[in-house]
A and B are shown apart, each in its own frame.
Chain A
């Protein structure tokens, strides 16, 4: 079945970096773009951007330019979210989510989420 499995929780200090993985299985990886969504504790959903799994080209929401990098390793059907210079307000659950072909950006399924805690 279609599955997105993310890496485990991370505890980082301010200023450090983190790399979260999203392993896809059960479908042809290059046919479906992958999106990333952030959910701060007790808060709503924020779309971070998406990556074209055919070309590897990422697109970022304006709020998430600069410290956030989306990448792929298509050989292992895995997408990555790299966050540099972590701040306390980066503490959140980060989800990857698949969108259907054709640019219709609803998301299904979602990964289980990766909790990143930034604390000194």
Chain B
């Protein structure tokens, strides 16, 4: 199985500042035949299901604010939240869909400093 590891486990950032969450996969999730990284990011607020933010490592889902961006390739990926808002307090998960079984990172808790 591909193991997804997120860094850090928790993070406190001041309002208006940048938040970055890293995700590392135990093997590459880039598929040369499609030239894509099979990596998604989700946001989960308390009592709610996860919400898709980013797929193909850097494609923002429709309706997701442009302060959210994804980057990286191969085994190393980053979710960046530019100018943190109060409503961004949540758990964030990365997910690989390169190989079965699909696996998620352990989650990163983002709080306001």
Complex CA distance for A46 and B48, rounded to whole angstroms: 16
Q: Which residues of A in the span 48-79 have a Cβ within 8 Å of any Cβ on B? A: 59, 61-63
Are B100 and A61 in touch, CB under 8 angstroms? yes
Q: Which residue of B lies closest to A96 (CB)?
A: B49
The verdict on B105 contacting chain A, using a C-beta distance below 8 Å, is: yes
9 contacts between A and B (CB under 8 A): A37-B50, A44-B104, A44-B106, A45-B104, A104-B56, A106-B55, A107-B42, A110-B49, A112-B49
Q: A47-B103, A61-B100 are in contact. List 16 more A-B contacts (CB 8 A).
A: A44-B93, A44-B104, A44-B106, A45-B42, A45-B50, A46-B104, A61-B101, A61-B102, A63-B101, A95-B50, A104-B56, A106-B95, A107-B42, A107-B50, A110-B49, A110-B51
Q: How many B residues face the partner with a CB closer than 8 A?
A: 22
Checking B48, B51, B93, B97 against A45 with a beta-carbon cut-off of 8 angstroms, the contacting residue is: B93
Q: Which residue of A lies closest to B52 (CB)?
A: A108
B39 CB to nearest A CB, Å? 9
For the complex, would chain A's binding face be called helix, strand, loop or mixed by DSSP majority? loop
Checking B49, B93, B97 against A105 with a beta-carbon cut-off of 8 angstroms, the contacting residue is: B97
Checking A35, A44, A111, A113 against B107 with a beta-carbon cut-off of 8 angstroms, the contacting residue is: A44
Complex CA distance for A111 and B50, rounded to whole angstroms: 9
Are A105 and B102 in touch, CB under 8 angstroms? yes
Q: Which of A45, A61, A104 has the most CB of B within 10 A?
A: A45
Are B52 and A107 in touch, CB under 8 angstroms? yes
Known: A106-B40, A110-B49. A62 touches B55 (CB 8 A): no
Q: Which B residues touch A37, using CB under 8 A? A: 50
Complex CA distance for A113 and B105, rounded to whole angstroms: 20
